Structure 1
Amino acid sequence: MWAAGHWANVWPVLLAVLIVAVLGGSGYGLWQAHRRAVGKDRAWRLEEDARARELSMTEVDALTWQDFERYVADLCRRDGCTQVVVSGRSGDLGADVIGCLADGRKLVIQCKKYAPERSVSSQDMQKFLGTARNEHGADVALFVTTCRRFTAAALGLAVRHDIVAVHRDLLGAWVKGARLDSLLPLNGRGHGDGGSRGQRRSPA
C-alpha cells in the first residue's frame, strides 16, 4: 500500500539505480575488453619486435668472426664513437674492438661469434674482466655475443664487475637501430627464448 501511494516518488529512484547498474556493468565490461585488447596488442608488438630482431640477425649470423668484429666496430662508429680500432688478431687480451664513446670514455669490447643456442660461460667472462680494465684501461667494457644467453655465473660476474653483457636480443636491437648508449644500462636484461630459465640450468 505504501509503495502504491508513493510510487510516483519511488519509480524515478529505482529507474536511476537500474540505469547506474546497467551502465556500470557495461562500463566494466568495456574496460575489461579494453584491457584484454591492450594486452593482446602489447604481446603482438613484442612478438613482432622479436621477429624483426631475429630477421635483422640473419645477416650477422652469416658473418665470419673477423667480419663480426668489424661489424660491431661499425655499429660503434654509427653511434658516435671515435678512434675505433679492430684488433683482428689472436692474443689481443680480450680487446677485439677499442674506441671512445661520444663523451670521451674509453670503450673496450669483447666479441664472441657463437651459435644462437650456445651460452657465454663464466670462463669466457673471467678472461675478459681480467684484462678489460687492468690491461686496456676500459671505462666502459662490453661483452657482445650472437648467442641468446649468458650463464647465471657469467652474468653475475658481469654485474659485479660492471661489464655490460650484450646478448642476442640486445645485439638485435642494436643492429635494428637502438643506440649504444641506450643499451649500456640494460646489462644483460631482456633474454629471449626462455633465457632466464636457461641461466638457471647452466651454472658454469
Structure 2
Amino acid sequence: MAAPARRTPSTNPRRAFDLRSTALFFVLLAVVVSVLGLAVRTVADAAERHPGWALVLVLLAGAGIAGLGRRIHVARAARRAAAALDEAATEAAEALERAPVPRQRVASGIDIDYDALDAAEFEAAVAFLCERDGCSAVEVVGGAGDLGADVVAVSPEGWRVVIQCKRYGESHRVGSQDMQRFGGTCFTVHEADVAVLVTTSDFTAPAAEYAEQCGIVCVDRQALLSWADGTGALPWEAVQGVETVETAEAVETGRDIGAER
C-alpha cells in the first residue's frame, strides 16, 4: 500500500489576508467614533440644558488663553526692558570713559591729560588742586562776564587767591594782552591778595615781564605739572603778604614796581 505524499511548504510564503483582524480593527474604530460622538452630543445637551455651566467653561477657557497671552506679553516686555537697561548701562559707561572727570582723577592720583580737557574742565581741575592743597571757599566763577577770574579761593594763610586759567596749546603762548587784561581786574575788581595765571602752555617774554612788574604769579605747563604731582611750589606761596599789598597799591596808582626796585 502506497503512503500518501506530504506537501512541501513553500520557500517564499505570502502573508494571507486575515479577515478576523481587519474586522476587529474596523469595529474598534467604529466604537471610538461612536464614543466621541456621544461625548460631543452629551456636552452639547448639557450646555443646552445648563447654559450657565457652558458660559463658565467658555470664560475659563478664555481666561486661560488670555493668561497665556498676557504671560507672553509680559515676557516680551521684560526682555525689551532688560535690553534697554543693558543698552543704557553700556552708553553710560562709554560716556564716563569719554568724559574727563578732573576731581576724581586727581584725587585717585591718575595723571591728567590737560590737553584733553576743555576750558571748563581745566578750571575745575585747577580748583580741585587749590582745594586739595588746603584752600577754603574754592569756587569756579569762570564764564561770560567773569572779568578775568576763573577760580577764587582763600589760601591756608587767609589770602584771597584769584586765578585765571588759560588752556592753550603748546604753540599758543600767553601774550602780554592776556596778562594786561587780567592785571587790570585781578587786584582792583576782584581784590586779590594773590593773582595767578595758570596755563597749559607758556608765557611770552613781554607777558612774563608785565606779570613780574604787577606781581602776578605765572604758572606755566611745567609748573602746573609739578603743582599737580605735589613736587612743585604752591602758587600762593610765591608771593608774600607784604608784597601783594604793595602790588595792589602799585596797580591802583600806576607805579612801576620793577623800576623802583
Matches within 5 A, 1:35-46: none
1:125 lines up with 2:179 in the alignment? yes
3-state SS of 1:150 partner: coil
Partner of 1:170: 223
Q: Which residue of 2 aligns with 1:103?
A: 157
Does 2:164 match 1:92?
no
Equivalent in the alignment of 2:166: 112
Residues 113 and 106 of structure 1, relative CA distance in 2, 3 Å threshold: same
Q: For 1:165, give the aligned amino acid.
A: C
- Whether the 8 Å contact between 2:227 and 2:234 is mirrored in structure 1 is no
1:26-105 paired onto structure 2 within 5 Å: 59-105=113-159
Q: Do the aligned partners of 1:144 and 1:167 also contact (CA within 8 Å) in 2?
A: yes
Q: Tell me the equivalent position of 1:138.
A: 192
| TM-score normalized by the length of structure 2 | 0.47
Tell me: CA distance 1:96–1:124, structure 2 relative to 1, closer, same or farther (3 Å). same
Q: TM-score, normalised by structure 1?
A: 0.60
Structure 1: distance between partners of 2:233 and 2:134: 9
User: Do structure 1's residue 158 and structure 2's residue 211 form an aligned pair?
Assistant: yes
Alignment length (residue pairs)? 130
Letter in 1 for 2:224: L
Identity across matched positions, percent? 45
Shift of 1:185: 2.7
Unaligned runs of 5+ in 2: 1-109, 240-261
Contact map agreement 1:144 1:165 (CA 8 A) in 2: yes
* Aligned-partner Cα distance in 2 for 1:88–1:185: 23
Q: Distance in 2 between matches of 1:114 and 1:72?
A: 14
Determine if contact 1:108/1:141 at 8 Å carries over to the other structure: yes
* SS of equivalent residue, structure 1 residue 120: coil
What's the offset of the Cα at 1:103?
Answer: 0.6
1:88 positional shift = 3.4
**Cα shift at 1:178:** 3.2
The answer to whether the Cα contact below 8 Å between 2:198 and 2:224 also exists between their aligned partners in 1 is yes
Which protein is bigger by CA-based radius of gyration?
A: 2
Relative CO higher for 1 or 2, CA cutoff 8 Å, sep ≥ 6? 1
Q: Which stretches of structure 1, 4 residues or longer, exceed 4 Å deviation after superposition?
A: none
- Bigger strand share: 1
User: Do the aligned residues in 2 keep the contact of 1:84 with 1:100 (CA within 8 Å)?
Assistant: yes
- Cα deviation for residue 80 of structure 1 reads 0.2
d(CA) in 2 for partners of 1:116 and 1:138?
Answer: 28
1:86 is aligned with what amino acid? V
In structure 1, what is the Cα distance between the partners aligned to 2:111 and 2:203?
18
Q: Distance in 2 between matches of 1:118 and 1:183?
A: 25
Structure 1: 5+ residue stretches without partners: 1-55, 187-204
Per-residue Cα deviation, 1:39-70 (whole angstroms, up to 9, x for no partner): xxxxxxxxxxxxxxxxx865221111101001
CA distance in 1, matches of 2:231, 2:136: 18
RMSD: 1.9
Shift, 1:116, TM fit? 1.4
The 5 A counterparts of 1:181-196 are: 181=234, 184-185=237-238
Q: Does the CA contact (< 8 Å) of 1:65 and 1:113 recur in 2?
A: yes
